[in-house]
Amino acid sequence: MPNKHRVIPIVKQPAPAAKPRVHYDCSKCPGYCCSYDLIEVGKRDIARLAKHFAVSYQQAEDRFTKYDFDEKVRTLRHRKDKYFGKACTFFDTKKRQCTVYAARPALCRAYPEEPHCGYYDFLKFEREHQDDPAWVALTS
């Protein structure tokens, strides 16, 4: 008599790869990545910002983003910054931190994807050599 129950075998899944240990502290950085020309955002990012500010999707898109015709992507708007020339509109230039950290775009959440941040390593080196823990090292 054939088995009436269909059995799905349990297959042991490989353990997820451990995330590499991060060797930087964004809270000690003056926000270099926030000064990148293109901080690309998608529809989910705009929806997250709309919810954060309690505005419609269209209002968030109009207020906080612009379309880059060369790259054919929607990006966050920028404003003046004394160190880097310009920075993300959500970057507090006095406190040197993100004002929408909980609602920040996916690109910002994932950056940098490596255990090291090149600018942070450079900044740390310069601060040690300047003997100034608040030194803002410029790259240009």
> What's the domain range around 78?
35-111
Cα–Cα distance between 20 and 115 in angstroms, integer?
6
Q: What is the pLDDT of residue 43?
A: 97
Q: What is the pLDDT of residue 135?
A: 84
Of 2, 83, 91, 75, whose CA–CA distance to 37 is shortest? 75
3-state helix, strand, coil in the chain (%, to 5): 35, 15, 50
Q: Are 64 and 89 in contact (CB under 8 A)?
A: yes
* CA-to-CA dists, residue 3 to 8, 9, 10, 11, angstroms: 13, 15, 18, 21
Range scoring the smallest mean pLDDT among 6-20, 41-55, 73-87, 126-140: 6-20
Whether 126 is in a domain gets the answer no
Q: What is the pLDDT of residue 5?
A: 56
CA angle 111, 82, 28 (to 5 degrees): 40
For 88-131, write each residue's pLDDT tens digit.
Answer: 999 999 999 999 999 999 999 888 777 878 888 888 898 999 99
- The total domain count for the chain is 1
Checking if the pLDDT of 83 tops 60, the result is: yes
Whether 78 is in a domain gets the answer yes
